[in-house]
Amino acid sequence: MNHQITEKAKETIAIEAAAIQQLTGFVNEQFAAAVQAIYNAKGRLVVTGIGKSAIVGQKIVATLNSTGTPALFMHAADAIHGDLGMVQQDDLVMVISKSGESPEIKVLVPFIQQLGNPIIALVGNTQSFLAQTAQYVIACTVEKEACPNNLAPTTSTTAQMVMGDALAIALMTLNGFDGKDFAKYHPGGNLGKRLYLKVADLYVHNAMPKVMPNASLKEVIVEITQNRLGVTAVVEKNNDLCGIITDGDLRRMLNKTDVLTNITAADIFTPNPKTITPQALAVEALEVLKKYDISQLVVAENNQYLGIIHLHDLIREGII
């Protein structure tokens, strides 16, 4: 029984993967013309559909909005009962349908034509009513559904979603939509934090351990222990950074000598430590920590010691 389950699941994935690969043949002049029309439009892209295609449409709208292309979803059934008022003069309408012959679509399309809004068909059947009436046709034809009865929308809805992603990314490229724009539209959650959270937002909440070069071994140990960051900076009177001492440096020093009298911070510290500026993104700090396999990073600017950012800060904020 388990073998039958896994084989059927693998077959489903294989069918859908093959269908997706074939979609590249439909990325043609019609596709490019549709993308250009959306890009040049003064209004929004209104996406509509019925059944499973409607659910795909909602996902496409969400992707478009989050990548810089204004879009809204209008359910085809609701559109013919009042929601058609959502469509404004400068909008384009993209109708998603596998067959292009659904009763709701056949009723809706003439009303959109009366409004004078251009129609983009994201359609499986390129000989259908929808395809014949649309100004732009993006084909997403599939040979068969993954459903054993070739009935339940599976491969076809996957193809629609992938073509929607292709549309969104093409528009994203035309719009020059970059990481800063993405952060503006995704301020919440871990994704947003990776794009906007700065080192300055984190290190200020930590202690600022530091000792002078002439500090005794006891003073160094107390400073590291009290501030619980596993490290202390070594600074001059003007707060210029000389180096750092980590708890690992202390252990290595103890392994090398049995005589602890008169040992000072100057005898232990590591000069020229890895630093990062307050303006750097937290994710940049993470890259430095990973690259050098360290847990703490000194925050400094113009060699002025400002504080410490710790790996735990990044974990707590969900950056990792």
pLDDT in tens, 75-117: 999 999 999 999 999 999 999 999 999 999 999 999 999 999 9
pLDDT of residue 195: 74
d(CA 53, CA 160): 8
pLDDT of residue 267: 93
Angle of CA points 192, 193, 195, to nearest 5° = 65
Residue among 302, 303, 20 nearest 165 (CA): 20
Ligand-binding site membership of 75 (annotated)? yes
pLDDT at 140 over 90: yes
Query: What domains are there in the chain, each with its CATH number?
Result: 2-177 (3.40.50.10490), 200-316 (3.10.580.10)
- Reported residue count of the chain is 320
pLDDT at 15 over 90: yes
d(CA 80, CA 313): 53
pLDDT, tens digit (0-9, with 9 covering 90-100), for 259-292: 888 999 999 999 999 999 999 999 999 999 999 9
pLDDT of residue 265: 96
pLDDT, tens digit (0-9, with 9 covering 90-100), for 244-261: 999 999 999 988 888 888
User: Looking at the DSSP assignment, which residues form a beta bridge with residue 233?
Assistant: 210, 244
Residues 6+ apart with CB under 8 A from 227: 206, 207, 208, 209
pLDDT, tens digit (0-9, with 9 covering 90-100), for 21-68: 999 999 999 999 999 999 999 999 999 999 999 999 999 999 999 899
pLDDT of residue 194: 76
pLDDT, tens digit (0-9, with 9 covering 90-100), for 145-178: 999 999 899 999 999 999 999 999 999 999 998 7
Mean pLDDT (whole number) for 131-156 = 95
pLDDT at 11 over 90: yes
pLDDT at 204 over 80: yes
pLDDT at 193 over 80: no
pLDDT of residue 183: 67
pLDDT, tens digit (0-9, with 9 covering 90-100), for 207-238: 999 999 999 999 999 999 999 999 999 999 99
Percent of the chain residues past pLDDT 70, beyond the cut: 97
For the purposes of burial, counting CB atoms within 10 Å of the CB of 294, is it exposed (0-12), middle (13-18) or buried (19 or more)?
middle
User: What pTM does this model have?
Assistant: 0.69
Residue among 53, 33, 23 nearest 141 (CA): 23
pLDDT of residue 39: 97
